[in-house]
Amino acid sequence: MAKPLMAKATAVWLVDNTTISFKQIADFVGMHELEIQGIADGDVAVGVKGFDPIANNQLTQEEIDKAEKDPLHKLKLKFNPAAAGEEKRRGPRYTPLSKRQDRPNAILWLVKFHPELSDGQIAKLVGTTKPTIQSIRERTHWNIANMQPIDPVALGLCKQSELDAAVQKAAAKKAAEGGVMSDDERRKLVSTEQSLEMDAAPKIPTAIEGLETFSLSDDDEKDAEPIVDADSFFNLPKGGAEEDEEDDLRS
C-alpha cells in the first residue's frame, strides 16, 4: 500500500485536526499505533509541524469524514496522476565518481577468487557492465597491466553480506548442476563466518606424510654407520716429533 509523503508530519496533523482513531492513522501513515498515541501524548514527534494532507493533495475531506464516522474505515491515499509510472527503475548499481576508478580492480578480484560468479552477479555487486567483465576475464582490458585484485568489500563497492549471498547462490547452482568442487573451491563458496569455523587445512604435504612417526628397523640399525662423537675429532694422536721431545725432557 502506498504511504503519504512526510508520514510523521501527516500523522501529527491528523491527530491535531481530526477525531480519527489511532489505529486508522497508524495504518494510513505506516507507523505503529503506540507511536500515534505517543504523538497525542506529546512524547513522540515533539516540535514536528503538521503536514496537511488535504492541501497537499493526498487526502480528501470526504475520505476524512468517512473515517471519522466509521472506525473500521481505512483511509485511502488520493490518486495522483503525476506519480503514475514512477516505479523503481532497474539497472546497474550506482557507483560514486570517487570509487569508479576502483571497479576494474574489484572485478579482477572477483574473477580471480570467485570464478564461479556469473557476469550478471558481478555486474550487480560492483555496478559495471558485462563487456567490461568479459574483457577482464580474457585479459584484453586496456589497463590490465596496471590492475591489481582488490576486495570489493574493502573498496566499499558492496557489502560483505551481498558478496556472501552471491557466492552461496553460485554454490547452490553449481551443486544443482552436479559440478565437482575441489577443497579450495569449496572454501571459496562458503560465507566468511562459515569459512572461519572450518578445520584448518593440513600443513604436511601428502608425499611425506608419516615421516613424523618414522623409525628404523633392527636390520637397518645394524647396517647404519656408527655415530661418531664430536669430541673424538679433537683427541687426535700426537705426532712422532712431539713424542721425541717428551722423551728428551724425561731423560
| Confidence at 214, pLDDT banded by 50, 70, 90 | very low
CA 124, CA 162: separation in Å to the nearest integer?
10
Q: In the chain, what are the domain boundaries?
A: 7-82, 90-198
- Torsion angles phi and psi, residue 72, rounded to 5: -90, -5
77 pLDDT above the threshold of 60: yes
Lowest-confidence range among 52-56, 158-162, 176-180, 245-249?
245-249
For residue 122, give the nearest of 160, 175, 167 by alpha carbon: 167
159 pLDDT above the threshold of 70: yes
12 pLDDT above the threshold of 60: yes
CA 134, CA 139: separation in Å to the nearest integer?
8
Using an 8 Å Cβ cutoff, are 126 and 157 in contact?
yes
CA 47, CA 62: separation in Å to the nearest integer?
29
pTM beyond 0.85: the answer is: no
Using an 8 Å Cβ cutoff, are 109 and 150 in contact?
yes
> What is the per-residue pLDDT across 161-193, written as a single tens digit (0 to 9) for each?
889 989 999 888 888 876 555 555 555 555 555
CA 121, CA 30: separation in Å to the nearest integer?
33
CA 18, CA 40: separation in Å to the nearest integer?
12
CA distances for 240 relative to 12, 81, 161, angstroms = 118, 122, 86
Other Cβ atoms within 10 Å of 113 Cβ, number = 14
> What is the per-residue pLDDT across 79-123, written as a single tens digit (0 to 9) for each?
765 545 544 555 556 667 777 889 999 999 999 999 989 999 999
Using an 8 Å Cβ cutoff, are 154 and 106 in contact?
no
